[in-house]
């Protein structure tokens, strides 16, 4: 599977990932996403049945219905955060996985930056002018963004340049 990350400290990032999912699935590609969240974010409502199962000591809790399932795994306190490669091995095969965050991963990335910022990584997407000496793709051109992502996505297990 290929993966590509959008990083940055702005609110537009998750919306841009959503728009890329629409663009790439519209091209007939199978797309999945992984969103990096803070440890402070709890994926369950306190007091729910599955929250109570975790609080009681369950290592894994799966919630399931006829239309979806999710597996929550508690990590021991001294465990390092799983790397993107190990997360990808737990997912069903698709054409590309869009990573929302994961700044420290070895996967190719594009930084979503506010207008006027002059430091960036590989490439940027921004509504306004950015003076960094890297390629810029405007977020309003979702087709060009989709082309850039697919051209630069890296296959699982491949080594970055």
Please write the tens of the pLDDT for every residue from 66-99. 999 988 888 888 888 888 999 999 999 999 999 9
> In the predicted model, what is the mean pLDDT of the chain?
83
DSSP H or E segment with residue 63? strand 60-64
How many separate domains does the chain show?
Answer: 1
Let me know if 132 is exposed, middle or buried by CB neighbors in 10 A (0-12, 13-18, 19+). Answer: middle
Specify if 115 maps to a domain.
yes
Specify if 75 maps to a domain.
no
Domain that holds residue 122: 2-43+81-155
The CATH number assigned to the domain holding 144 equals 3.40.50.300
pLDDT score of 130: 62
Q: Give 89-140 pLDDT, tens digit per residue.
A: 999 999 999 999 888 888 888 888 765 555 555 566 666 666 666 777 877 8
Specify if 144 maps to a domain.
yes
In sequence order, which residues have a C-beta less than 8 Å from that of residue 130 and are 6 or more positions away?
A: 113, 115, 116, 117, 118, 120, 124, 136
CA distance 17 to 140: 13
Give the residue with greater pLDDT, 25 vs 7.
Answer: 25
Report yes or no: 153 and 95 within 8 Å, Cβ to Cβ. Answer: no
Specify if 105 maps to a domain.
yes
Specify if 48 maps to a domain.
no
Report yes or no: 98 and 20 within 8 Å, Cβ to Cβ. Answer: yes
Cα–Cα nearest to 105, from 61, 153, 141: 153
Check: pTM over 0.85? Answer yes or no. no
């Amino acid at each position: 599977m290929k993966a590509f990350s959008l990083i940055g400290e702005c609110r537009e990032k998750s919306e841009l990932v959503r728009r890329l999912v629409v663009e790439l699935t519209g091209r007939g590609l199978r797309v999945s996403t992984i969103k990096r969240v803070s440890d402070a974010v709890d994926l369950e409502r306190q007091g729910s049945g599955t929250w109570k199962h975790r609080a009681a000591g369950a290592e894994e809790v799966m919630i399931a219905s006829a239309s979806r399932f999710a597996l929550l795994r508690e990590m021991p306190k001294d465990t390092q955060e799983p790397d993107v490669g190990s997360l990808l091995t737990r997912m069903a095969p698709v054409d590309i996985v869009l990573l929302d965050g994961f700044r420290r991963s070895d996967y190719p990335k594009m930084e979503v930056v506010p207008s006027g910022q002059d430091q960036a990584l590989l490439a940027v997407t921004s509504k306004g002018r950015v003076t960094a000496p890297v390629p810029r793709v405007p977020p309003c051109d979702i087709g060009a963004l989709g082309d850039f992502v697919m051209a630069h996505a890296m296959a699982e297990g491949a080594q970055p340049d």
